[in-house]
Amino acid sequence: MIIFGKKIFACKKGTRGTALIEFALAAPLLLLVLTAGYQAFQYVALNVRLNTIASKVASWTSADVTSANIQDCFIGAWLLDQVDNFASNGQIVVTGISASSTGQNPVRAWQVASSGAASSIVVGSHNAITSAPFALAPEAQLIVVEVKYSYTPFFSSLSSIFPAITLYKVAQTMPQNTAQFNSFS
């Protein structure tokens, strides 16, 4: 019995390497938590930047509703977000919407899109808007800016945890110059 007790006591003394084993077990979980925190921060920051881009383009467009100004707004949007390479991963669609003369569905008066961009606004006969993935304000004239961004997380190699997604933001404003809005082509 005494020999058995001495062996147990000898095992208790041999704790070399315990910290290393504990670290090896905890490190993957710690790394996952840190990675998830980083990705969450990047996602929230990107959403804020996209909201800013949508509202700025809407504001700039409402001040001067011309094709040249809208193209300048696209360039301004790309310059606003050089961190996430918005010029190659982002798309912008600016749509002028007017109330219909019949009082039914609003009508798409005009639309300008950055290269490769497509609107989510569904238009039926006579440019009547049949559906949109957002609520339209009941105004006589409205400028709607749609911003889409193809987001690929930094740690996309862990695709099951952090998949690539498309972010979609919308901003609406009323034009400051209704004559320009009506004569836009």
Q: Report the distance separating Cα 162 and Cα 41, nearest Å.
A: 13
Cβ–Cβ under 8 Å, residues 157 and 102: no
pLDDT for residue 140: 77
Using one digit for the tens of pLDDT, what is the confidence trace for 87-145? Answer: 788 889 998 888 766 667 788 888 888 877 788 878 877 777 777 777 666 667 888 99
Angle among Cα 13, 16, 20 to the nearest 5 degrees reads 145
For tokens 């969450």, the residue is 40
Cβ–Cβ under 8 Å, residues 7 and 121: no
